[in-house]
Chains A and B, each alone.
Chain A
Amino acid sequence: MERSIALIALFAALIGALALLPGLTLGFGVPITAQTLGVMLCGTVLGARKGALAVLLYLLLIAIGLPIAANGGAGLGVFARPSVGYLVGFPVGAFVIGLVSSRFANPMGFWPATLAALVGGLVVINVFGIIGMWIKLDVTLPVAIGYAAPFMPGDVIKAVAAGAITAALWKARPGLAAQRG
């Protein structure tokens, strides 16, 4: 139990640390960030339930005022920004990533992890993000989808990176596979 809590807290902090890397904010107010890589790793390394808990913990900490959202954003204000859909999608994405990778015999292998990160990280998170921008920015759905397009190449790269990191972690610390869930 202590180990689970420590790992969940670590991955919540990891998303926060990645969010602080300088990103590029696009015109409609949503940045390209490394956060998604952290969310993907939550799913691929911690599994569905713990991964989603880590992301929820991250969101809670933003809400209570830690400057760990994209570009050092903090507080409840972050949930009033156009990127709110993505934030809501993060825990769902991590959960789906965990579920998808668990369907394979070697969930922390490169291909299972990459595939899961694509499904949960690229598809699920962006669907939520698009809905968020659609509502928040008062644009039509096709325009909102257009807004999300520039993130796709980066998100594919992040999914592959998540797969590679997960596989390497698995090799270095095989015990990690046993704690997924």
Chain B
Amino acid sequence: MLALSSDIPTWAHRLPAGRKFAALFGASLAIALARSLPVQGAILVAAVALYLSCGPAFARAGLRALRGLAVIAALIGAWHWLMGAPETAALIVLRLLSAVALANFVTMTTRLEEITALVDRALAALRTPAVLRRRLALAIALTIRFVPVLSDKATRLTEAWRARSPRRASFRIVLPMAIMAIDDAEQVAEALRARGGV
């Protein structure tokens, strides 16, 4: 499925989602508040250890998810270094990497259903009416369905373009795509109503 969650089963997958999110919240707070380099360094080491504890394949997948950020972090660090603030540079890079790495870790080890269930429980605890929660669950599910459907439509129109032109498809396919997508949404709304709606 379209999601960051990893298929490789690990010990962290078995932890309750609520506890993982609470721990992440605590860790994020610590990362934001601590101004000491050794503390930040220790946090990053702990994050790396977490990934490694889940096996090499999982750690590689985690690294892949971080690759783009690592480049950015390096550039930001270099910039601050050149501006004569190596201390700040190290702090920013460490913070960025640990915060994103830990958050990704939680996301990778929690299945989508568990997270949506957690959101639902949290809203219930906040006394959100059941009707609203059902609507939200529905909206989440629909969006997950629509992303691949949209990219499929985009592919089809791009091919229809390329079948009649040697040049690359231009922004002109955006309008027919938008119209098609809106018509689809109307159809889906009807299918929803046919089975009880909201």
Contacts and interface: CB of A to CB of B under 8 A. Distances in A.
A2 B108 CA distance: 32
B163 interface: no
B182 to A, nearest CB: 6
Interface stretch (B8-16, B36-44, B50-58, B189-197): B189-197
Q: How large is the interface on A (under 10, 10 to 19, 20 to 34, 35 or more residues)?
A: 35 or more
B130 interface: no
A14 B181 CA distance: 9
Given A74-B107, A80-B100, A82-B76, A5 B143 contact: no
A21 to B, nearest CB: 9
A64 B17 CA distance: 11
B7 interface: no
A12 interface: yes
Given A65-B3, A81-B69, A81-B100, A76 B24 contact: yes
Interface residues of B, number: 65
Given A74-B107, A79-B103, A137-B92, A6 B185 contact: yes
Contact of B101 (A2, A9, A73, A77): A77
Given A8-B139, A27-B75, A66 B2 contact: yes
B128 to A, nearest CB: 14
Contacts of B154: 17
A5 B147 contact: no
A41 B177 CA distance: 14
Interface of A: 1-3, 5-10, 12-14, 16-17, 20, 25, 27-29, 41, 57-58, 60-61, 64-68, 71, 73-82, 137-138, 161, 165, 168-169, 172-173, 176
For the complex of A and B, the 3 pairs showing the least CB-CB separation, nearest first, are A75-B107, A13-B146, A80-B99
13 contacts: A1-B197, A2-B189, A3-B185, A6-B185, A14-B181, A28-B72, A28-B75, A28-B79, A65-B107, A65-B110, A66-B147, A71-B68, A75-B104
